[in-house]
Amino acid sequence: MAACVLVFLCVDPMKLDVTKTRKDFPILEREVRPGVRLTYLDSTATSQKPLSVIQTMDDFYRMSNANIHRGVHSLAEESTTLYEGARERIAKFINSASARQVIYTRNTTESINLVAYSWARANLKQGDLVILTEMEHHSNLVPWHMLQAERGIELDFVPVTEDGLLDMETYKTLLSRSPKLVSFTHMSNVLGTINPAAEIIRLAHAAGAITLVDGAQSAPHLQVDVQDLDADFFAFSAHKMCGPTGIGVLYGKAALLESMPPFLGGGDMIREVKLRSFRANSLPHKFEAGTPAIAEAIGFGAAVDYLATLGMENIAAHEHEVTEYALERLEEIPGVKLFGPSADKKGGVAAFTLDGIHPHDVAQILDQDGIAVRAGHHCAQPLHEKFGIPATSRASFYLYNTKEEVDMLVNGIYKVKKMFG
């Protein structure tokens, strides 16, 4: 996928009109306290929502609310059409060969757990190797720790270099041990590193391994083509890409999904139930037990419509410009240490520490001026331990952020330094 990043930076896409785009997001007009306008720099945690997504969900509840698949009345048919139509558009957004391969989940975490509970428990046994990386989010660590405790599988990790990249030579050495699964983040939520997903997958397949990609951070920011990547599984969430919370997707290759046992049991995932047996439904419903997040799925469809209208290449180019500027400005501040690679190798993330000042103090003082950044270990404690720090402050940028907001961040950090002497 690294090649795709270069394409984003080398083409001359239509420039994103950020002034116009910002008007699509009502919350950006908010004053968090009298006279203090919101400067939202925490989209890596969750993005803000455009009016089109908010209105789509509102319209559903006002006009079409009904349960899906089970009814033959008008509202039930409308609801089902909206729900499945969103799935079709999400499938197109990631270039899935079929909407049947797009499984609705609650979020990326549940998608990864679905693979761990269904595919992995059906296919992995004691001693089987799963390769992860040192930059994984906890949601791509803990399920495998749990499986290790239960099954005695072996875990090993691709190291992260000092400049925030994966050590690909060590990865190749690990592959010589015939792993069964390689599971990795496409883009780090701390370092912003955009990993060479296509190469990682190609090498894994050559070694006979299945691949799972955590796309929570990449799907909102990059043009993702699951067929071009040749990913076996790809997980992502709506809430980080202008959509609602409580809805995510697991994409999987059809043959793998067909072979996997159901994850949860109950309504809608069944074809037939008897007192002593059941038959599972066909894809994708086999993995969607119970009444789902209908409005949220419909909102997810509106979100990918919105992103597609803006153009993912335009979004990536805009974010690169803002991120490059942010890294340059932050590097000017005495006492600031940045983590992760240069702007050409990362997405819109700037994680940093400030000498002698805890990241939580940095975030709280910035908040006084309406500047929202994240502070902590960002659900990536092992990565912070790798760099010998307990926490970082993290500013993250999306399609609605501007260089002027970067300047406000920098001025705010100088204010922090002044307050702490």
Token representation of residue 183: 């599971």
Q: In the 8-state DSSP scheme, what is residue 377?
A: -
Token representation of residue 179: 């792993």
Q: List 36's β-bridge partners, or say none.
A: 33
Residue 74 CA, chain-centre distance (Å), reads 35
**Strand stretches in 277-385, DSSP E:** 277-280, 336-339, 349-354, 371-372, 374-376
Cα gap 81→75, rounded to integer Å: 10
The closest alpha carbon to 240, from 396, 35, 14, 39, belongs to 396
HSE (side-chain half, CA atoms, 13 Å) at 17? 5
Assess contact for 44 and 394: CB atoms under 8 A: yes
Cα gap 191→125, rounded to integer Å: 33
- Classify 264 as helix, strand or coil: coil
Kindly report each contact of residues 44-47 with a partner whose C-beta sits within 8 Å and lies 24 or more positions away, as own/partner: 44/189, 44/217, 44/240, 44/348, 44/349, 44/374, 44/378, 44/394, 44/396, 45/374, 45/396, 46/239, 46/240, 46/245, 47/220, 47/239, 47/240, 47/241, 47/242, 47/398
DSSP string covering 11-40: S-PPPP-HHHHHTT-GGGG-EEETTEE-EE
Assess contact for 150 and 181: CB atoms under 8 A: no
| Alpha-carbon distances, residue 80 vs 62, 65, 66, 92, 93 (angstroms) | 16, 10, 8, 18, 20
- Residue in 4, 10, 242, 379 annotated catalytic: 379
Residue 313 CA, chain-centre distance (Å), reads 17
Token representation of residue 358: 């805890």
Q: Is the peptide bond before 284 cis (omega within 30 degrees of 0)?
A: yes
Task: Give the largest CA-CA distance in the chain.
Answer: 72
Compute the residue count for the chain. 421
10 labelled catalytic: no
Residues with a known catalytic role: 379
